[in-house]
Structure 1
């Protein structure tokens, strides 16, 4: 079988799995709206296959279970969507945050083969000890405890064999479904499904890039080397490759083992505070932050330090974004809603189709809700959710790096609250915010900014005459064009085509009935029961076609 043919076969089989799972969890209406039912199994094509126990679950619960059953790619998609409160309702985002990608480990023979192919030697030539049973197993890879020949303890992450092909196949299907949804489902383009798949594709490819993760680890190690409360493990580059990542093995207490943390006498509030302060430094000073610092990615070392693990999900904030965040804080403090919206527009978050009057009222409501409250009376996670809910209601698009920041902020807030119920991430953020606002409004910074603005204005006016000349020349030479783009008429065109097809089919059925009637009137043979066979066959065919048309119209809801 040719590679292209095999790939198409694999995609068709995957489509069948997706359709069957969606119907199983009572999402058949989505299948029908996208016209996917013919791709399903015979059972899913002829009717529903919903088990009774699923009917009593909420929509978000059924969606989460469907993603889990569809496998690792869709679990990862759900995890990405869980941090996009601006795109999906909060109840779905919160449910998707519960998604776990724990899967059975793959066999040790595959582990040895991958290490040899990637690093060039057998396991025994690198390690004096290598435990066959993994200490952790996930959808992308699994981690084994090992010892180098010099006795150093290490954690060896090995990528799951064949996972890249599975993910690429699933991504092809996701792009196909996203494009179809944007073209044929009314309102789907507002959620930008293709952009979501783009974001997911970048995220999951970054997670599969072990060299990039190793680079992230070293970057964090350098940024946090002067922090006495945070530890980042060492990378052993000589034992790393495209599919293998070897890092220092760290001993400590799991971040959610509170009983053991208490047993060893650690101050849980201090741990939460140290984690929050480190996150703020990463965001406001370094511009690179750990976006997934939940309790499973944290160890409390025996000296009380916090060890950060798993650097596959890392966020980046360019300097202009960090300055924009400070401007946002200043606008909030000054209760300047217009300035706040203008900053959102500069970030590309507010399009000109957004109702700014409604957005202004919603933002003013949020500002009034929290204005004047002491910091210790503000629930940081709840405030972030309120702000994101306002942005989502008004179709404000949040860029990926800011979505990662929100995800990281809520994750570290959740970790801190679990570690110490009285923890408040807003109180941790306040000193950093005040410091940055003071620096931004200092005479030295204002004069520096003014000089830069004058220089940019000078460049603008220097280039303006030439640019205007180019525009006028293009108009004079007839090269300037005005392009009109029709938007929103695709559903109308589709409905007209469907109506035309039904009308044509009806005329064909009517022609068959009339022709059959004429044949019966002639009495031509052969006959059955005194009725010409040809005329009788015509009526039967017309009846079948007619019933098919009626069923199609009823199922489409267009009657």
Structure 2
């Protein structure tokens, strides 16, 4: 039989199962709205799961049970949505957080098949010992303990056979259902169901590639190479592939085994601070963070060294996103609501259709709630929860990695609180944020940023004569078309003149800064305090001109306003 026909038949069967389960859990109205009844084989009302006596079961609970019954792909979708409290109603996100992988392990014969297919060798060829019973089993793979031929103890994560094909089929169905829902259900369009499925598809496809997780682990190992209090397990690349990940076995005490920690005299407070400082380092210095640091994912080694495991949930922060995140936090601490809203616009968290006045009022109410409190009185988890409420009310959507960052913040807060009753993340956050801002505003960093932009300005200047020539050529041929809308056109010439002057002035100040920076790197005499006087003088002139420029802009804005 043709493979495409088999695939279509498989998808139709899957559609029927989805519809049957939706009806079973009292989501008939959704099936009708999507006009999917033709796929449904009639089921008597007596087969429905809930009777009139059980109407107290909430819709979020029933939807969680739908996801559980639909299987691994849908459980993963729910787990990811539990993080995105900015995208779905909070009651659903909280309910989806209860979703757990509850799947049986697969047979050792399948393990042998995957290892032979991926690594080209048998278990006996590769390992001295290999435990038949897995340590843990999840929807995508399972983990076994083993020992290499050289005696090194390892853990081997192995992907379920053919799970990628099953997931791809489910993703195709999810995508088509999401598009159908956005066409026919207003709520689906409001929450951007297609974008949610697209984001989920990217996430789970990344999770299917174990080499990506291995690369993350190596990156974390490099980032913490100078940190004696944090340990990252070693990756064994010769025993790893896209579907197999072999790591060093960590022999330690789980961070939630308080009895064993106390018995050995370990300092819980010290462990909490090491974990939270490690998280802050990931955010402010590395731009790569572990978003799932909870006591079950942390082992305690000798001398209260912590070992991080399970790098399946990792987020990235670009330098631009780091700056935006810090700027937003500082805007809130200063009570600068205008700046905070501007940052939300800049990063597409809110659209042009947002009710900015109501948003500002809600943010001011939020700030009033926490204003005047000492850092010791701040509860990071409660603050983040309040932020999610505001985002929900204004249909704001966070960049995926920022949502993951907030999730990681809640997790590290829980980690610290379990180990240390009076743990407060705000006290850990403050010195890291100040250090980051000091580094960001240092003359060296500003100079480096300016020098990085030199090639960009050079390209602009290089292209400008050609672009002007093309425009003049079009004018000469009578082919230049200009579209504009009249709006206070009488002020346009003056505004263009002002803008041109400002641009020219900016170039001059930038040139002075760059030139002074280059001079400072030489031994040009005369010297003042061991540095070239001309370079220092150039910076002073640039500073004075820049301040005068800023003042003139502020005066102009007040005049126009």
Could you say whether these structures have the same fold, taking a TM-score greater than 0.5 normalized by the shorter chain as the test? yes
Instruction: Give the 5 Å matches for 1:528-547.
Output: none
Q: Does 1:351 align with 2:351?
A: yes
Moved more, 369-378 or 52-61: 52-61
Q: Are 1:376 and 1:424, in contact at CA under 8 Å, matched by a contact in 2?
A: yes
Aligned to 2:519: none
TM value normalised by structure 2: 0.80
Q: Distance in 2 between matches of 1:294 and 1:161?
A: 29
For the residue of structure 2 that corresponds to 1:42, the secondary structure is coil
For the residue of structure 1 that corresponds to 2:43, the secondary structure is helix
Aligned to 1:515: none
Q: Distance in 2 between matches of 1:464 and 1:62?
A: 62
* Residues 339-369 of structure 1 deviation map (CA, whole Å, 9 limit, x = unaligned): 1111111112121111111111111111222
Moved more, 249-258 or 108-117: 249-258
Aligned length: 481
Aligned to 1:488: none
Tell me: CA distance 1:394–1:145, structure 2 relative to 1, closer, same or farther (3 Å).
Answer: same
Aligned to 1:26: 26
For the residue of structure 1 that corresponds to 2:186, the secondary structure is coil
Instruction: Give the 5 Å matches for 1:6-85.
Output: 6-43=6-43, 49-52=48-51, 55-85=55-85
Aligned-pair CA distance for 1:401: 1.2
Larger of the two Rg values belongs to structure: 1
For the residue of structure 2 that corresponds to 1:128, the secondary structure is strand
Q: Distance in 2 between matches of 1:65 and 1:88?
A: 17
Q: Are 1:23 and 1:48, in contact at CA under 8 Å, matched by a contact in 2?
A: no
Q: Distance in 2 between matches of 1:87 and 1:158?
A: 32
Q: Distance in 2 between matches of 1:169 and 1:71?
A: 13
Aligned-pair CA distance for 1:36: 1.9
Q: Distance in 1 between matches of 2:447 and 2:125?
A: 61
Q: Are 1:206 and 1:312, in contact at CA under 8 Å, matched by a contact in 2?
A: no
Tell me: CA distance 1:39–1:418, structure 2 relative to 1, closer, same or farther (3 Å).
Answer: farther
Aligned to 2:135: 135
Tell me: CA distance 1:222–1:451, structure 2 relative to 1, closer, same or farther (3 Å).
Answer: closer
Aligned to 2:237: 237
Aligned to 1:369: 369
Q: Distance in 2 between matches of 1:57 and 1:469?
A: 71
Q: Does 1:176 align with 2:179?
A: no
Aligned to 1:110: 110
Instruction: Give the 5 Å matches for 1:69-468.
Output: 69-442=69-442, 445=445
Q: Distance in 1 between matches of 2:270 and 2:411?
A: 17
* Residues 371-410 of structure 1 deviation map (CA, whole Å, 9 limit, x = unaligned): 2211110110110111122122111111111111111111
* Residues 111-163 of structure 1 deviation map (CA, whole Å, 9 limit, x = unaligned): 01111111011100111101100011111100111111111101011101121
Q: Are 1:328 and 1:340, in contact at CA under 8 Å, matched by a contact in 2?
A: yes
Q: Are 2:270 and 2:304, in contact at CA under 8 Å, matched by a contact in 1?
A: no
Q: Distance in 2 between matches of 1:389 and 1:24?
A: 31
Where does the alignment leave 5 or more consecutive residues of structure 2 unmatched?
485-561
Q: Are 1:83 and 1:403, in contact at CA under 8 Å, matched by a contact in 2?
A: yes
Moved more, 90-99 or 107-116: 90-99
Tell me: CA distance 1:370–1:460, structure 2 relative to 1, closer, same or farther (3 Å).
Answer: farther
Where does the alignment leave 5 or more consecutive residues of structure 1 unmatched?
483-559
Q: Distance in 1 between matches of 2:251 and 2:94?
A: 31
Tell me: CA distance 1:78–1:222, structure 2 relative to 1, closer, same or farther (3 Å).
Answer: same
For the residue of structure 2 that corresponds to 1:139, the secondary structure is coil
Q: Are 1:329 and 1:433, in contact at CA under 8 Å, matched by a contact in 2?
A: no
CA RMSD of aligned residues (A): 2.6
Aligned-pair CA distance for 1:429: 0.8
Tell me: CA distance 1:150–1:446, structure 2 relative to 1, closer, same or farther (3 Å).
Answer: closer
